[in-house]
Structure 1
Amino acid sequence: MLTAEQKQQFADQGYLVIDPQIDPAIIDGVRERVGNGLLYPDGRTVARVQDAWRQDAGVKTIACAPTVLAVLAQLHGRKPLPFQTLNFRVGTEQKVHSDTVHFNSNPAGHMCGVWVALEDIDQHNGAVIYYPGSHKLPEVGMSEVFAEPDLGARRAPMRDGPLSPRGWWRELRGHSPAHDSAHNYLLYETYMERQIERARIAPALATIRKGQAFVWAANLMHGGSPRTDPARTRHSQVSHYYFEGARYHRPLLNPDGRVRYFQPDWIV
Structure 2
Amino acid sequence: MLSATQKQQFADDGYLVIDPQIDSATLDGVRERIGNGLLLADGEGNSRTQDAWKLDPGVRDIALAPTVEAILAELHGRKARAFQTLNFRVGTQQPVHSDTIHFNSDPAGCMCGVWVALEDIDENNGAVVYYPGSHKLPEARMAEVFAEPDLGARRAPPPQGAMTWVRRLAGRNPVFATARNYPLYEEYIARLVCRLELKPALATIRKGQAFIWAANLLHGGSITRDPLRTRHSQVTHYYFEGARYHRPLLNEDGKVRYFKPAWIV
1:240 matched to 2:230? no
| Residue type of the alignment partner of 1:57 | P
Q: What is the CA deviation profile of residues 123-153 of structure 1, one whole-angstrom value per residue up to 9, with x for unaligned ones?
A: 0000000000000000001001001011111
Distance in 1 between residues matched to 2:39 and 2:90, nearest whole Å: 16
**Shift of residue 46 of structure 1?**
7.0
**C-alpha distance in 2, partners of 1:6/1:217?**
14
Asked if 1:255 corresponds to 2:256, the answer is no
**1:134-187: CA deviations, max 9, x gaps?**
000000010010010111111111214786235567x63xx4x13111111100
1:134 & 1:62 partners in 2: Cα distance? 27
Consecutive aligned runs of 4 or more in structure 1 exceeding 6 Å deviation? none
2:17 aligns with 17
CA–CA distance in structure 1, aligned partners of residues 200 and 144 of structure 2: 23
Q: SS at the partner of 2:67?
A: helix
Distance (whole Å) between structure 2 residues aligned to residue 160 and residue 78 of structure 1: 42
**Residue pair 2:155, 2:181 contacting (<8 A) in 1 also:** yes
Residue 266 of structure 1 corresponds to 263
Residue equivalent to 2:74: 74
Amino acid at match of 1:55: L
Report matched runs for 1:206-217 at 5 Å. 206-217=203-214
Q: Percent same amino acid at aligned positions? A: 71
For 1:27 and 1:71, how far apart are their aligned partners in 2? 20
- Which amino acid in 2 is paired with 1:227? T
Q: Secondary structure at the match of 2:97?
A: coil
**Aligned equivalent of 2:134:** 134
CA contact (8 A) 1:135 1:221 kept: yes
- Maintained 8 Å contact 1:160/1:166: no
Q: TM-score, structure 2 length as denominator?
A: 0.95
- The alignment status of 1:227 with 2:227, answered yes or no, reads no
Root mean square deviation of aligned Cα: 1.6
Residue 32 (structure 2) aligns with: 32
CA distance in 2, matches of 1:96, 1:46: 14
Amino acid in structure 1 at the alignment position of 2:115:
W
SS in 1 for 2:230: coil
Supply the distance in 2 between the matched residues of 1:53 and 1:185 (Cα, whole angstroms).
27
CA deviation profile, 1:89-113 (whole Å, cap 9, x unmatched):
0000000000000000000000000
Q: Name the structure 1 match of 2:194.
A: 197
Per the alignment, residue 116 of structure 2 pairs with 116
Contact map agreement 2:39 2:89 (CA 8 A) in 1:
no
Unaligned runs of 5+ in 2: none
The 2-side partners of 1:219 and 1:244 are apart by 18
Q: Distance in 1 between matches of 2:164 and 2:191?
A: 37
Q: Contact conserved, 2:130 with 2:203, CA < 8 A, in 1?
A: yes
| Separation in structure 2 between the aligned mates of residue 156 and residue 167 of structure 1, nearest angstrom | 19
Aligned length: 260
Counterparts of 1:212 and 1:249, CA distance in 2: 30
Which secondary structure state, in structure 1, belongs to the residue aligned with residue 38 of structure 2?
coil
The amino acid across from 2:84 in the alignment is Q
For the residue of structure 2 that corresponds to 1:37, the secondary structure is helix
2:184 — aligned with what? 187
